Structure 1
Amino acid sequence: MPFMCQNDSYSTLHTAVVQTVTPAKCKVSISGGKEQMTEGYEVILDDTILFPEGGGQPDDRGTIDEVPVLRVTRRGGDAVHFVPSKLEEGQEVKLKVDWERRFDHMQQHTGQHLITAIVDKKFGHQTTSWDLGRNVSFIELDTLSLTIAQMQEVEDECNQKIRDSTPVTVHVTEVGSTLLENVRARGLPEDHVGSVRIIDINGVDANMCCGTHVKNLSDLQCVKLLSVEKGKKGKCNLYFLVGNRVLDFVAKKYADEKSLTKILKCGPIEHVEAVERSVKQLKQTQKEAKNLLREVASFEAKSFKLSVSENRYLRLHRKEGNNEYMNIVANELKGIECYLFLTVGDEKGEGLFLLSGPDKFLEECGKNISDAIQGKGAMNAGKIQGKALNMKGCKQAEELIRTFMSK
């Protein structure tokens, strides 16, 4: 039989009886979306309002007697609740569901059924999989793409069905029932036991599904199709938002718009034009800066040439420099026997380096100097060049160079 969360997806409180409690380990989400292996207990109840993951829908969160439920999975006909604290078998407990998470999943899941059905009906493109993401969901379609006009057509019909307050009915039947003959489905899981649920969007779609759904499309509020991106071979992904996620999206974009208005010092209508103008100015400034950097590199190399007879060692660091800057200096001094140690980037963090000198110097000292700055590079055409992971080691590297030169 279906769980109570499937019989009444709007139920948020329930009293149940603990049937089994087993010590276990489980991977649970921690801060930042990472998973961590955690010790706890697997609890099976006589019934539950907490949905176990399945059908592309993530599991619910909630509490059992104020003990947080960290995961809910399905094992055969049982829902297994993973909790950090032990409960007693036979104990009567009170369940509470995290309604904000549950309702979001209901909106996205029913919205997925609606979008899938309308895309299939209008254009004959079937949904091969879907993903209920944390912020944005998508369906994978067996077509290379959808046009903007097709997306708008699908979105308009979805929202019309919502405005029509189209009912969503759940039918429970058995495997082999004639009700399943005209139902869209991709087959039952191998470990499926018991009854089969059919989610029927009146006049739109009937589909086998174990997930939680709204009773009426009006609870979806609205559907927004965002974009189509290339998917697996011969397929594409259609990204969408439903219900509260649309409102959250609008709120975020409005906050961004206010920030841009303050930064760009113009109204929202002029934002694009102002950004394009700023990007154009930035490119011009970057071009001019590159030209100046080239001139500085050439000037510094020529200045060193004037004193090379007295001082054969050139040490340069330029925070805003790049590989081109170092190579210009090195190329200007090509053919002159001297020692070059050039660096660019953050003096206290990471950067780039170029080391040049006589072959004997590079062979005997190159590795030690590179190790001092945690350099990762290769020797080529009389120089070692690459990335320095520890620019604080430059002082030690200079001492190695001076020691070699003094010999």
Structure 2
Amino acid sequence: MAFQCQRDCYMKEFVTSVVSCCPAELKQEVNGKKETLKGFHVKLQDTILFPEGGGQPDDHGLIGDVPALRVTRQGPEAVHFVSSPLEVGQQVQVKVDWERRFDHMQQHSGQHLITALADAFFGYKTTSWDLGRQRSTIELDTPCVKPAQLQALEEAVNEKIRAHVPVTVQLLSIDDPAVEKVRSRGLPDDHAGPIRIIDIEGVDANMCCGTHVSNLSHLQVIKLLGTEKGKKNKTNLIFLAGNRVLKYTEKSYSTERSLVSLLKTGPDEHVEAVDKLQKSVKLLQKTNLNLLRDMAVLIAQNFKSDPQRGNFFSYHKKEGDNEFMGIIANELNSEETLVFLTVGEEKGPGLFLLTGPSGPVSDMGPRVLEMLQGKGAGKNGRFQGKANSLARRGEVEDFLRQHFKHHTSEEE
């Protein structure tokens, strides 16, 4: 069976009737979290909302005033997931999200064109493809595509677009001899009805269930962005078609203007300017690291030279790191002194290090960890880790002083 969306891919509104409506659930991922929506599966007499298939995502749209959140195919029928029930037998107006639909038509027809010419020019077969939200990918059965081949392929596909080549749909019976002559990766197990052929005149005839443009001129333009290494000696060819090229250009130009303002140079000098900035940052980081190391040594030496130093040392520095704390601890290196060091935001997250006599450190470490809401572990007179909050640092100092003083009094 061919749905109305396949018979007329350009139809935006359609009146039909509700055949069935039953409770259902939809599992989806929102912001990285899986959730289950309760709703209803609705079957219509016919539909202009394309159910996902052939590498093409499903359409979105409205059935009456109820959003269709997902459309899937079950044998010869399309199943629409909606959040509210619809009355069986009622007439409904179905509206397709045209921007999404036309984007899918452009990308899908663009894929057919690229696939056909990559095969005709270089013998590179398409083994799969992915219609992504921002860019699409064609997996080619070749370990690499040379830059000159990529350029020739891009010029060829755009030449076909400029030539206004018609794209037609044929419906053939499964036993028609013509079926054997078309390109195909096979039919789904639950396929029913005639075979649908997408014919790009003089270029390609391909078995496909998806929605397509009626003329290559509707693709506007195709841009091949480049290639990436694929799996098992294959190459992923990344492309944009139609309106995606316009959006990509607009976004790129906006980024270019922002960089001109930030870097104070023209677009042609951006790469050189960023390279200089990166080298400057690396030099500053190296200088800063050396200064922190020198500072750590001086802090430790200053404490050791203080005749009134006592046996407890505490220090905090916002810009430090684990190495900074480690240098101080190693310089002090005293079994008689308890050292408590922290780095990071004063009332925010950071790092800590508790070092000194192994007995007290082992006893007090877990309590310090609890007060700093952190994670860590210790052994051999050192307990260290990450703190989710250094807001209670002062309380930790008081606890350590009191506990360590009590411990040394007991030893005496």
- Give the shorter-chain TM-score range: over 0.9
Within 2, Cα distance between the matches of 1:33 and 1:248? Answer: 26
Within 2, Cα distance between the matches of 1:78 and 1:175? Answer: 19
Cα deviation for residue 277 of structure 1 reads 1.9
Q: Residue 321 of structure 1 corresponds to which residue in structure 2?
A: 320
Contact 2:362 2:381 in 1 (8 A): no
What letter corresponds to residue 287 of structure 2 in structure 1?
E
1:374 matches 2:373: yes
Deviations 1:65-105 (A, max 9, x none): 12211111111111111112221111111111110000000
Contact 2:335 2:356 in 1 (8 A): no
What letter corresponds to residue 4 of structure 1 in structure 2?
Q
Q: Residue 180 of structure 2 corresponds to which residue in structure 1?
A: 181
Contact 2:303 2:309 in 1 (8 A): no
Q: Residue 190 of structure 1 corresponds to which residue in structure 2?
A: 189
Cα deviation for residue 6 of structure 1 reads 0.4
Deviations 1:283-332 (A, max 9, x none): 21111111111111111111111127632222111111111111111111
Q: Residue 14 of structure 1 corresponds to which residue in structure 2?
A: 14
Contact 1:355 1:383 in 2 (8 A): yes
Q: Residue 23 of structure 2 corresponds to which residue in structure 1?
A: 23
Q: Residues 6-405 of structure 1 correspond to what in structure 2 (within 5 A)? A: 6-28=6-28, 32=31, 36-307=35-306, 310-335=309-334, 337-405=336-404
What letter corresponds to residue 15 of structure 1 in structure 2?
V
Cα deviation for residue 145 of structure 1 reads 2.3
Contact 1:63 1:96 in 2 (8 A): yes
Percentage of pairs with the same residue = 54
Greater alpha carbon shift after TM alignment, 140-149 vs 159-168: 140-149
SS in 2 for 1:391: coil
Within 1, Cα distance between the matches of 2:231 and 2:349? Answer: 38
Greater alpha carbon shift after TM alignment, 379-388 vs 58-67: 379-388
Unaligned runs of 5+ in 2: 407-412
What letter corresponds to residue 156 of structure 1 in structure 2?
E
SS in 1 for 2:181: coil
Q: Which TM-score applies when normalising by structure 2? A: 0.94
4+ residue runs of structure 1 moved beyond 4 angstroms?
A: 32-35
Q: Structure 1 residues 127, 291: closer, same or farther in 2, change over 3 A?
A: same
Within 2, Cα distance between the matches of 1:142 and 1:125? Answer: 6
SS in 2 for 1:44: strand
Contact 1:71 1:81 in 2 (8 A): yes
Q: Which TM-score applies when normalising by structure 1? A: 0.95
Unaligned runs of 5+ in 1: none
Within 2, Cα distance between the matches of 1:352 and 1:58? Answer: 46
Greater alpha carbon shift after TM alignment, 306-315 vs 2-11: 306-315
Cα deviation for residue 12 of structure 1 reads 0.4
Q: Structure 1 residues 154, 308: closer, same or farther in 2, change over 3 A?
A: farther
Deviations 1:164-213 (A, max 9, x none): 11111111112122111111111111111111111111222111110000
Q: How many pairs were matched up?
A: 406
Cα deviation for residue 134 of structure 1 reads 0.8
Deviations 1:92-124 (A, max 9, x none): 111111100000000011111111122222222
Contact 2:335 2:357 in 1 (8 A): no
What letter corresponds to residue 394 of structure 1 in structure 2?
R
What letter corresponds to residue 9 of structure 1 in structure 2?
C
Cα RMSD (Å) of the superposition? Answer: 1.7
What letter corresponds to residue 125 of structure 2 in structure 1?
Q
Q: Residue 4 of structure 1 corresponds to which residue in structure 2?
A: 4
Contact 1:28 1:71 in 2 (8 A): no
Within 2, Cα distance between the matches of 1:170 and 1:271? Answer: 48
Q: Residue 409 of structure 2 corresponds to which residue in structure 1?
A: none
Contact 1:308 1:338 in 2 (8 A): no
SS in 2 for 1:240: strand
Deviations 1:370-404 (A, max 9, x none): 22223333335531233222323433432331122
Contact 2:263 2:273 in 1 (8 A): yes
Q: Structure 1 residues 361, 34: closer, same or farther in 2, change over 3 A?
A: closer
Contact 1:40 1:85 in 2 (8 A): yes
Within 2, Cα distance between the matches of 1:122 and 1:382? Answer: 70
Contact 1:28 1:70 in 2 (8 A): no
Greater alpha carbon shift after TM alignment, 118-127 vs 289-298: 118-127
SS in 2 for 1:70: strand
Greater alpha carbon shift after TM alignment, 325-334 vs 143-152: 143-152
Contact 1:138 1:240 in 2 (8 A): yes
Within 2, Cα distance between the matches of 1:300 and 1:318? Answer: 11
Contact 1:118 1:158 in 2 (8 A): yes
Within 1, Cα distance between the matches of 2:227 and 2:136? Answer: 12
Within 1, Cα distance between the matches of 2:232 and 2:394? Answer: 53
